[in-house]
Every structure is written in C-alpha cells, then in structure tokens.
Amino acid sequence: MHAPHRPPRHPHAWLPLLLLSQLLVAGIWWRWGWGVGLPSMLATHALAWWGVLAPGAALYGPVLARLPTQDREVWLTIDDGPSEDTAAILDLLDAHGAKATFFLVGDRAAARPELAREIARRGHGIGNHSATHPQAWFWALGPGRMLREIEDAQRQLTAIAGRAPRWFRSVVGHTNPFVHAPLRRAGLARVAWSARGFDAVQGDVDKVVSAIERDLAPGAIVLLHEGAPHGRNVEMIGRLLQRLDALDYRATLPDGDRG
C-alpha cells in the first residue's frame, strides 16, 4: 500500500503568511473602520485556530489523512501505548493476519521496552506520538518543548526498536505551528486519520465499531487506542478486525514500513 511520506520542507512558511494577513487586517481596519476590520481579524484568527485544532488541517505543514488507493486496504493506527493491552492486541492482529502501526509514547515505551520490541518483532510499524503525551497542553507547547517532545521520543523509540520511526501523530491531533520544524529535522511525516470511533473515551463497543465502519473506504486511516480507562480497547479492536474480515478489507502497512 503506497503512502506518500512527506516530511515538511518549509516548516516556517506559515510565519510570513501570518504577518501578511495581519498587515492586511490592519489596512482594512484603517480604511473601513472596526465594522469591517474586526470581523476580518476574527476570521484570520479563526483560520489560525482551525489549523491547530483540526487533525487533518494542512495549514502549517503537510499531513496524510487518507491513502491514495482503490484497493480494499486500510491502515490501522493504534495510539498511546505500550500498555497492558498491547500483548493481547498483538495476538488479535496475528489471528486475523492484520498489520498495524503503533504510535507509541516515548516514556511509556522506555518503561515497557519488551512490548515495543515485540511490536517490531511481529512485523508491525512503530510511530512517534511524543515523549510524554502532554494531552492538555500539546496544542500550546512552545518551540523548545515541542522539539524535546518529538526528538526525545524519536531517540527512545529508535534505541528500543532498532529502527527510526517514519511517522508522527500529534497528541489529540492538535498541531500548532511549532510541530513541523522538529518533524523536518527527524525526517518524520505527520499522519491524521479518516475513520474513528472515539474509542479513547467511548466505552460502548458496538457504537465505536459502527462509527468506524461508516467511514471505511479504500485507503482509510483508522484511529484506534490502547489502554483507555474504560478497559475495552482490546474488545473493540477484536470486533473491528472481525468486521474488516467480513467486509473483505485487508489491514496492511505502508510500503516503507513493511518488514
């Protein structure tokens, strides 16, 4: 399955565009007054926030949200591990002949290195999901902290798995303007998703799987989680794999991630 791997080439291109937009707003305000100037300013600020909060927004840098294929293939991506669920999820994937990419948190992988190595040994992909998973504040991290979150995780995961991750997923999907410079340095491409069931917070297996199934299509990138407080992620992934088999979808990895 081909997936365009596109690390950012111009991670600071947003800055002159932002400055230009605010100069235009200032000119509009001066020429037509606050009645036009204020809505113009709010519109530019809303666009900037959309670029941060919308997981598939490419305002600040490239992002992959769907794979360019017409084959009945999907890319399963599992966030937030390693966890107590990892071993059971690996067994389920093996039982269904499915592959997945695990977007691991660096500190959690360092605490459970045997699980991270087992993911790689069984032929699955490992992606970078930050070093500490600062869920509440990732959207607001400055350039120094953002660099540490991404580069520390990259070093940790490379040392444990023996292979550098190629893909990055932002925490909670939020991507502020400071994400892409570290991605360029590390050769990482950002991945979003096109199918999700909110399985990190929703404990109803049927609702989660039904929501994902509604968005399935050739090339779908499916967002899944492990280790959620409701304790039902393993059951959800097992049920989803059954549905994929019934619908004749194959869960596979992008070409460059296949062992």
Q: List active site positions.
A: 79, 225
According to DSSP, residue 64 is labeled B
Contact between 181 and 8 under an 8 Å Cβ cutoff? The reply is yes
User: Cα-atom radius of gyration of the chain, to the nearest Å?
Assistant: 20
Angle at 36 between CA 33 and CA 39, to 5 degrees: 130
Contacts 24+ apart (CB under 8 A), 208-213: 208/236, 208/240, 209/236, 209/239, 209/240, 209/243, 212/240, 213/243, 213/247
Measure the CA–CA gap between 91 and 93, rounded to whole angstroms: 5
Residue 188 burial by Cβ neighbours in a 10 Å radius (0-12, 13-18, 19+): buried
Contact between 52 and 174 under an 8 Å Cβ cutoff? The reply is yes
Give bridge partners of residue 104 from the DSSP assignment: 81, 128
- Mention every residue, 6+ apart, whose C-beta is less than 8 A from residue 37: 25, 26, 28, 29, 30
Measure the CA–CA gap between 195 and 60, rounded to whole angstroms: 22
According to DSSP, residue 196 is labeled E
User: H or E segment at 185?
Assistant: helix 180-186
